[in-house]
Amino acid sequence: AQKVTQAQTEISVVEKEDVTLDCVYETRDTTYYLFWYKQPPSGELVFLIRRNSFDEQNEISGRYSWNFQKSTSSFNFTITASQVVDSAVYFCALSSGFQGGSEKLVFGKGTKLTVNP
Amino acid sequence: EAQVTQNPRYLITVTGKKLTVTCSQNMNHEYMSWYRQDPGLGLRQIYYSMNVEVTDKGDVPEGYKVSRKEKRNFPLILESPSPNQTSLYFCASSQTGTRHSNQPQHFGDGTRLSIL
């Protein structure tokens, strides 16, 4: 069975602090994809990153970086120098299990990040 | 602009009164899906469709129906809504491809349903 665990339910930091959101996944597939989505207070889901299981290179996009480690089945997300606008719920998701031409997304329960001024 | 459009964005209604949440995408995507989001549970898949006239159950299909008569539209139907269907609903679409092509899903802005 596929499963995504985000152990941190809520995190609160002060602006300019670095913060890491943890994501641990389970799957029996050897090929799979991992995603991060952001849900700001307005409610929409914003796609941040997709990473396939064959690419363990870390990725950096501005203040965002992702650390993918197959050995520990983790795909952690770090925000450097956090800002108030980063306040949101962040979801990690696993795409595994063929579903007729696309892959079913299994979501973690989300981590609510609050960045205080 | 590429987008997934859901309507209504908000709805308060009563138990048993049939309702439909519409979903439309303009990206010519074959794959469409409905999710519900509940506090502490994340997002769970209700139904999905891999193409016109092809639909199948997700993880929590009870109490819902869907149809896919046109490629761009994938309405979610609650024939007899109940309070436990009060939730935030998302429609999503993506391109299909070969196994493990895993294109990102594009999400609508969500529909908040309250069933009294």
Contact call for residues A45 and B33 (beta carbons, < 8 A): no
- Report the residue of chain B nearest A51, measured CA to CA: B102
**A61: pLDDT confidence band, cut at 50, 70 and 90?**
confident
Q: Does A100 touch chain B (CB under 8 A)?
A: yes
Residue A102: predicted pLDDT = 53
The beta-carbon neighbor of A101 closest among B30, B40, B44 is B30
| Rounded Cα distance, A12 and A56, in Å | 29
Cβ pairs A/B, distance under 8 A: 79
30-59 of A, contacting B, C-beta below 8 A: 31-33, 35, 37, 43-45, 47, 50, 52
Decide: helix, strand or coil at residue B1.
Answer: coil
Distance of CA B10 to the CA centre of its chain: 14
Q: Specify the range with the lowest mean pLDDT, choosing from A99-103, B22-26, B66-70.
A: A99-103
Residue keyed to tokens 């509940």: B38
Residue keyed to tokens 């993918």: A68
**B80: pLDDT confidence band, cut at 50, 70 and 90?**
very high
pLDDT in tens, A62-99: 999 999 999 999 999 999 999 999 999 999 999 865 55
Q: Among residues A79, A70, A81, which one has the least CA distance to residue A34?
A: A70
| Residue A100 pLDDT exceeds 50 | no
How many residues appear in chain B?
Answer: 116
Decide: helix, strand or coil at residue A84.
Answer: helix
**A1: pLDDT confidence band, cut at 50, 70 and 90?**
confident
| Residue A52 pLDDT exceeds 90 | no
| Rounded Cα distance, B52 and B55, in Å | 8
Contact call for residues A108 and A6 (beta carbons, < 8 A): yes
